[in-house]
Amino acid sequence: MTRSNPPDPSGLDEPSPSARTPGAGPGVRPGASPDSGGPGGRLCAEAVTLAYGRTTVVHEVGLTVEEGGVGLVGESGSGKTTLARALLGLLAPRSGRITYGGRDLAAMRRGERAGFRGAVQPVFQDGSDALDPRMRLGSSIAEALAAHHRLDRAARRARVAELLTDVGLDPELAARRPHEVSGGQRQRAAIARALAVEPRVLVLDEPTSALDVTVQARVLDLLEDLRAGRGLTYLLITHNLAVVDRLCRTCHVMFAGRVVESGPARELLTRPAHPYTLALRDAVPRIGGAPPRAAGRTDAVPAAEGCAFRLRCPLAVDRCRTQAPAPRPVQGRVVACHRAEEVLAGAARK
Ligand code: SF4
């Protein structure tokens, strides 16, 4: 006969023996980095190519997630979420490598790998992705805690209350299930769960796009406060350049699996050099403003020859049809466009 425990009013059901935080292992030091990385090791993609079957979706991308935060911007299908999955260790590169603290993820031993997964935590678009719908919020957070800390029940309950308070939630909400709270509260609870293992890096995949505008602003405030208070580093995946400017120092813009412009986030928002960055900038929604414009002709597929963006680009010339632009340094950023100087000067903008 199966025995069932009565519900705990604190919201802390005992984590089931099978309950697991992805990649977590008992006894892993909270926030620990792999042996050679030390706390706060850098997360890098080195010439990474990613594919699903025969379809290559990311082509030889390199980036470093470092202090100050890094934004990865592009439309859906640009490859940014696939690259983020690889940086989380969820997808193996076809070529190139992902490193943390100088160690190749593919070569990490089991203990190192568990340390990496504690140090680099994801926060997805909708908090429900991280929260089991059958579990109370408190239990979901306690489950992550149990995987990384040896705490007794009372200490775990106190820590869950602290974490909920840290993300601006009433600890009483520990007793609710995900569907019993608002979208903003759910996302805060998902952030609390990610923070339970004391990570060094948060990979934020469209963390506010499922929320309405006022709730978005409050969650962004929270993320800013947490970064400052906990010394977190963010890799932010989004389609919104303004959100990157708010949370990150550096920005990479991806189109059709390639980085087309990289540089300081503020520069890319205020003075884009690639026509695609310019189109994304013009698509940023503004509170009380006109509806955003789409980023160019979004129905056109990437071109197979020459510049992949040319079928959407209002500035395309003959050269763009025959010659793929190589990334090159232009006025404080790296950009892959034959006409970047003209875009920057505003001369080529219609
Ligand atoms: S290389 Fe040509 S087609 Fe490509 S973005 Fe620049 S101007 Fe447009």
Structure tokens at 277: 């960055």
CA 166/CA 316 separation, integer angstroms = 50
DSSP helix/strand/coil, 121? strand
Q: How far apart are CA 12 and CA 135, in angstroms?
A: 9
Q: Where are the domains of the chain?
A: 43-270
Neighbours of 217 (CB within 10 A): 14
- Cβ pair 219, 207 in contact under 8 A: yes
Residue 53 gets the label, from left (phi > 0), alpha (psi -120 to 50) or beta, of left
Task: Tell me how far the alpha carbon of residue 276 lies from the centroid of ligand 1, in angstroms.
Answer: 9
- Measure Cα distances from 284 to 234, 320, 330 in Å: 21, 26, 24
Report residue 221 as tokens.
């405030």
69 lines ligand 1 (CB under 6 A): no
Q: Which residues pair with 65 in a beta bridge?
A: 43
Measured from the Cβ of residue 305, the count of other Cβ atoms closer than 10 Å reads 10
Helix orientation angle between 153-166 and 137-148, rounded to the nearest 10 degrees: 110
> Atom 6 in ligand 1: which residue has the minimum CA distance?
337
DSSP output for 124-160: -SSGGGTS-TTS-HHHHHHHHHHHH----HHHHHHHH
Q: What is the mean pLDDT of each run of 10 residues along the chain (350 residues)?
A: 42 44 34 39 93 94 93 92 94 96 94 91 81 92 82 88 93 94 91 92 89 84 91 92 92 96 95 94 63 51 92 95 96 96 75
Interval between CA 19 and ligand 1 midpoint (Å): 50
pTM of the predicted model as reported, rounded to 2 decimal places: 0.83
Does 315 contact ligand 1 (Cβ within 6 A)?
yes
Backbone angles phi, psi at 348, to 5 degrees: -95, -5
CATH for the 43-270 domain, from 3.30.70.20, 3.30.930.10, 3.40.50.300, 3.40.50.720: 3.40.50.300
Distance 310 CA to ligand 1 centre (A): 6
Q: Output the residue whose Cα is nearest ligand 1's atom 5.
A: 337
pLDDT value at position 90? 94
C-alpha of residue 309 to centroid of ligand 1, in Å: 6
339 in contact with ligand 1, CB cutoff 6 A: yes
Residue 27's pLDDT is 31
User: d(Cα 115, Cα 40) in Å, to the nearest integer?
Assistant: 12
Task: Note the pLDDT of residue 153.
Answer: 85
CB 112 within 8 A of CB 104: no
Question: Does the beta carbon of 334 lie inside 6 Å of ligand 1?
Answer: no
Quote the pLDDT of residue 289.
Answer: 44
